[in-house]
Amino acid sequence: MRKVLFLCTGNSCRSQMAEGWAKKLPAGKVEAFSSGTAPGDGIDTRAVKVMAEAGVDISGQKPKHLDNFRDAEFDLVVTLCDNARESCPVYWGKACKIHNGFDDPCTLTPEGSTDEEALPHYRRVRDEIKAFVEALPEYF
């Protein structure tokens, strides 16, 4: 089984979605993890909501710092946001590294936006990440 690390800045939304999809979709082919360079305190509740709508429960996942994986070996490291691509420390492992940036849905709507205003952005990003994760086996 191939080990994949999804890396983002806050590890609260896009990388968590990717980890959730990777645990569900290519079952038995990918062991998925996610982390951040500056993880927050919790997962974005709107990300949890739209993933649940698609049948993927990420409510038990927690943001983790990249340093938690210092001793781990991965086959693939995927950065998902431009901040992570620019601010990531040099990855110390021998993994193949790729970048596939996705919009940050929480920045696409103004602060204080309702779910009705924000969730369409989260759903679009969720679906884009799903399509990317479905194609992951081609990277191995």
Nearest in space to 104 (alpha carbons), one of 4, 24, 28, 15: 15
Given 8, 13, 96, 106, which residue is catalytic?
A: 8
User: DSSP secondary structure string, 31-63?
Assistant: EEEEEESS--SS--HHHHHHHHHTT---TT---
Q: Is position 96 annotated as part of the catalytic site?
A: no
Given 13, 81, 96, 106, which residue is catalytic?
A: 81
Given 13, 88, 96, 106, which residue is catalytic?
A: 88
Q: Is position 88 annotated as part of the catalytic site?
A: yes
* Cα–Cα dist 21/112, whole Å: 28
Q: Which residues are catalytic?
A: 8, 81, 88
